[in-house]
Structure 1
Amino acid sequence: MSEPFNDIRQVEMAIKAAQRMVGQATMSMDEDQLKAATDALNQAKKQYQDAVSHATGVDDQFFEFSSELIERIDHQLQEAKE
């Protein structure tokens, strides 16, 4: 039972980290920060995919919400890079 919870916690932490880093990077438009934000977002995506693949009986709303957040963060980052 603790494993799905740990997966969820990892996803939450990775998404929050990516949100902060993307926010900072898009405000500064610093190339190094944009790269670090991209790496953080990729890590969040990986954590999400790992959690989804291990999910059994876990709240689908969490995964839906997480997926939407990742998409928004990704969009924000892509807009900043253009």
Structure 2
Amino acid sequence: MTDYTTGYNDLKQVEMAIKAAQRMVGQATMSMDDDQLKAATQALQQAKNQFQHAISHQTGVDQQFFEISSELIERIDHQLDEAKKK
């Protein structure tokens, strides 16, 4: 039971970190403010770290969740990279 609860919490943290990064990157890319871009970069890194932690500690968890999360992180990363190039 503990493993299931821990696994669920890990996945929830990944989901929340990705959503936070999405919001911050969206705001930063609209404003193009350097401080917001830095904060968005940190939020994205935190989401990546949470994702890697969850992957390394999960067995038999919904593979689709990890695929969707990975795609979201890649899109957010790309959006942020494009904004930084401007």
For structure 1, the residue ranges without an aligned partner over 5 or more in a row are none
Instruction: Determine the structure 2 residue equivalent to 1:29.
Output: 32
RMSD of the alignment, in Å?
Answer: 0.3
For structure 2, the residue ranges without an aligned partner over 5 or more in a row are none
User: Aligned partner of 1:21: which letter?
Assistant: M
Check if 1:2 corresponds to 2:8: no
Superposed CA deviations along residues 38-78 of structure 1, whole A, max 9, x for unmatched, are 00000000000000000111100000000000000000000
TM-score (norm 1): 0.99
C-alpha distance in structure 1 between counterparts of 2:23 and 2:32, whole Å: 14
TM-score (norm 2): 0.95
Q: Which runs of 4+ in 1 moved over 2 A?
A: none
Matches within 5 A, 1:2-81: 2-81=5-84
C-alpha distance in structure 1 between counterparts of 2:6 and 2:59, whole Å: 10
Larger Rg belongs to: 2
Paired positions, count: 82
